[in-house]
Structures are given as structure tokens and as C-alpha cells.
Amino acid sequence: MRILVIGSGAREHALLTGMKAPHNELHVVPGNAGMADLATLHKGVVDDQANMVALAQDIKPDLIVVGPEIPLVAGVSDALRHAGFLVFGPSQAAAQIEGSKAFAKDVMAEAGVRTAHAEVVPAGSTPEEIDAALDRFGPTWVVKDDGLAGGKGVVVTPNINEARAHVNAVHKAGNPVLLESFLDGPEVSLFCLVDGETVVPLLPAQDHKRVRDNDEGPNTGGMGAYTPLPWLPTDGVQRIVDEVCVPVAREMVRRGNPYQGLLYAGLAWGSEGPAVVEFNCRFGDPETQAVLMMLETPLDDVLAAVARGELADLPPLTWREGYALTVVLGAPGYPEKPVTGGVITGAENTDNADSDDVAVVLHAGTSRGENGELVSAGGRVLNVVAHGATLEQARDAAYKRLEQINLDGGHYRTDIALPAVEGRITIPN
């Protein structure tokens, strides 16, 4: 099968790795330096419909997988389907589940899905209107950019001045703001394959958004993740499917915008069970890197079945035993002002893919320098993904591999999954 993946990060590197097979010919646009051994790299503007259609017509892929949210919200999947290509990724109308948080709230209200109370503060609101809205929330304020923000458009703070500052910053960019009530309980990420009203869950994962250990510092696109979740109730995944994902899928069908692709539900598991924090219209990053390491079913078969509208006919997914964990290496200054161009050493993968505690390096923001050296080219530079029979073994393998990689000024969290290993994650009564 000839496959084209759209995107350039570690998520797309993981997707390509999952579809690597002798019978597959892989292409990626624009890709990054770490993907060159897996796929043919192409130049292109991923959110330009005409550009992506022209590239697809040149490559003639049997399947196109759209990785990031920006081209999905820009309608690239619609344009590719209209041109006759088989595409994994929701339509532009369905992608509004991530493109507009206000839209997502309306869908959840109609579907009867538990989520935080929310209020939209339009751009152009007066200082008095902003203060009045803030006074209706707290003592912990959740302030969200209503548009796409790459996972960094949310501020959660007990400080009303910080909340007000974020409202003003989002308004300055011309976007409305969503104020939400704070949801208690540990967070869960659940990816579900969706084809109309057919919903198939993948393994649950947990992301670590804050830049520093102990969940300190600003939000990032994600500094690490692990799967599965030893603290989640045994019926946890099924409850999320039944109480969240199936009702939302049915509501999208009812609205005439059936969902076809990957629906990412970000939830908080509180005393009353799961409640939605946000939806994404694509595989999440960095959770995808860990989840796909656990998948034994051929990924290309899975994505093609969804794209063809045949998810209901797909045999049950099979998974490896054990746990997988990913840790992100960030560039100096990330997330505020990433410094790029630093030389990276020690990031080469070895041929030990059958080892039970294998750790592999996936590239997120990398390129080649003038002399062919590997250099940083983004805020999140690399992911180390490891598997182990236990979560602790997966952690050890990942951090052991990270110690072999050098990027001057690069940083990573040292506590990914540590609260779970130490039994410190509890669900509120």
C-alpha cells in the first residue's frame, strides 16, 4: 500500500513507524530529519487544500493519513476526498469539535455528556465585562483560547490576575475566550476510532502538560505520557465510551456531520466519574507515541478500515502486554521562546526492536545542518519511547536512553508516570 502521512512531528513519526512493512511504500509531507529512513519526504504547505491535492495527485497514494489538527480544521481532508483519495481524518465540519471549544460544548450539551460549566467571553469585551465574567468563576480559573492553540492555549490558575492577563492576551489576538469551571480528579486521554456511530477505543493514556517536574511551570504541547493506566477503574474505558464518545458520535450523525477518524477525549475522572476537559480531532501528541508502541494489530489496516467506512467489520484490536512510556526532550527556552539550531548527538536508533524493554527515539522538531549534523528545529525536539513489562521498567528504559542524548540546554521532565508507579494517583470519592 502506498501511504501519504501529512505532518512533521513525533506523532507522525510514530504513525509511520506503525505502518512500516515490506508491502508498504511510505511518504510524508513535510516530515522531519528522523523520518528519512522510513519514508520519502516531500515539501508542501499542509493546510493549503490545493497544494495537498496536487501533491497527492503526484504521489497517487492508496491512503492519506492527516496527522495535525490545522489541516483538518482547514478542510484538507474534504478537498482530498473530493479529489478521489481515501483519507483518514474527519471532515472540516466534524473537526470543529477541536477547532471551536464553544462548538464542542454545544455538542456535549445536546448529547448529555458531562463537562465543565463554561461561558464565552467574546473578543472586544470591556474590562468591566471581563471582570464580571471572571467573578462568576474561581477559586481556580480555567481560561481557554476558543481556537487552535497547539495545546498551549489554556491557563489554569488560582490567581485571578493571571486569568485576566490570559483573557486579554487571547482577545488581543482577536479570539474569543472560554471560561470554565475547574474539574477535579486525575486526567485521562482516550483515543477512539470513530466511523459514524461505530466507536472502538484504544488504550487509555495520561499526558503531562506542565513543563517542569511536579506539574510546575506553564502548559506545553505535552512533555510525556504513559499507557495503560494502572489506577483507572476496570470499567473505566467502557464508561468513557458509553458516557462520552458514543453519545458525541451519535450527536454528530444527528447534525449531519458524521465523524470519521480519531476522536481524542481529554477527561478528568472525578467523584462522579469521567467529565470532558476537551476534544481533539486527531491523534494526540505525545500520547500517540506510547499508545502505538503497544498496538499489535497492523496500523495501516486499522486506519484504512476507518477511512473506508468499514470500522464495524474490523476484528478486535490486539495489544502487547506491559506498559509504554514516552518522554519529550524540549529545546532550550521551550515553551516560552524555544532556541533552535542546537546540535543533537546520541539520538540514533539501534536494531533492538524485539527487546522487551526497547527504547526508540522519535523525532519531533529536527532537521539537518549545513554539514549534515542533526539539529533542533522546534520546541519539542525528540521523544524517547520505551516498553517494559511493568511501568517502572518502561520508565527506567526511557530515562536510560535519554541520558545518552545530548542537546545543550535541552530539558525534560524526570517524573513522567512517577506518581502512578508510586501509587500516588487516586480518584476522588
**CATH number, residue 128:** 3.30.1490.20
Residue 224 lies in a domain: yes
Q: Are residues 176 and 195 in the same domain?
A: no
Within this chain, do residues 154 and 272 fall inside the same structural domain, yes or no? Answer: no
Q: Are residues 354 and 394 in the same domain?
A: yes
- The whole domain housing 304 covers 187-422
Place of cell 515539501: 43
CA 362 to chain centre: 15
Q: Which residues contact 84 (CB under 8 A, 6 or more apart)?
A: none
Q: 224 and 246: one domain?
A: yes
Q: Are residues 194 and 177 in the same domain?
A: no
Q: Cα separation of 407 and 375, whole Å? A: 9
Residues 162 and 286 in one domain: no
The strand ranges marked E within 31-101 are: 40-41, 63-66, 87-88
Q: How far is CA 167 from its chain centroid?
A: 24
Domain co-membership, 50 together with 159 = no
Q: Does 165 map to a domain?
A: yes
Tell whether 216 and 296 lie within a shared domain: yes
Q: What is the pLDDT along the chain (429 residues), one digit of tens a residue?
A: 999 999 999 999 999 999 999 999 999 999 999 999 999 999 999 999 999 999 999 999 999 999 999 999 999 999 999 999 999 999 999 999 999 888 999 999 999 999 988 888 999 999 999 999 999 998 999 998 876 655 557 888 999 999 999 999 999 989 899 898 988 899 999 999 999 999 999 999 999 999 999 999 988 999 999 999 999 999 999 999 999 999 999 999 999 999 999 999 999 999 889 999 999 999 999 999 999 999 999 999 999 999 999 999 999 999 999 999 999 999 999 999 999 999 999 999 975 544 445 899 999 999 999 999 999 999 999 999 999 999 999 999 999 999 999 999 999 999 999 999 999 999 988
Residues 254 and 396 in one domain: yes
Question: Would you say residue 191 lies in a domain?
Answer: yes
Question: Of 133, 149, 181, which residue is a domain's last?
Answer: 181
Give the CB-side neighbour count of residue 194, counting CA atoms within 13 A: 34
Among the candidates 136, 152, 181, a domain finishes at 181
What's 227's DSSP letter?
Answer: E
> Which residues 6+ apart lie within 8 Å of 374 measured at CB?
33, 343, 344, 345, 347, 366, 367, 368
Q: Determine what percent of the chain falls in helix, strand and coil, rounding each to the nearest 5.
A: 30, 30, 40
Q: Is residue 98 part of a domain?
A: no
Examine residue 231 and state whether it is found in any structural domain, yes or no: yes
Boundary (domain end) residue, out of 74, 91, 108: 91
| Radius of gyration of the chain from its Cα atoms, rounded to whole angstroms | 21
Instruction: Let me know if residue 37 belongs to a domain.
Output: yes
Q: Are 397 and 388 in contact (CB under 8 A)?
A: yes
170 assigned to some structural domain: yes
Across 196-301, the runs of DSSP E, i.e. the strands, are 198-207, 210-212, 216-219, 224-227, 260-270, 273-280
What's 197's domain CATH number? 3.30.470.20
Is 206 in the same domain as 176? Answer: no
Same domain flag for 238 and 363: yes
Count of beta carbons in the 10 Å neighbourhood of residue 341: 10
- Name residues whose C-beta falls within 8 Å of residue 300's C-beta, 6 or more positions apart in sequence: 1, 3, 18, 19, 21, 24, 63
Beta-strand pair 2-7/141-145? unpaired
Q: b/e string for 309-338 if b means 16 or more Cβ within 10 A?
A: eebeebeeeebeebbbbbbbbbbbebbeeb
Task: Provide the 10 A C-beta neighbour count for residue 409.
Answer: 12
Number of domains in the chain: 3
The answer as to whether 27 is a domain residue is yes
Same domain, yes or no, for 278 and 323? Answer: yes
CA–CA separation, 332 vs 273, rounded Å?
Answer: 38
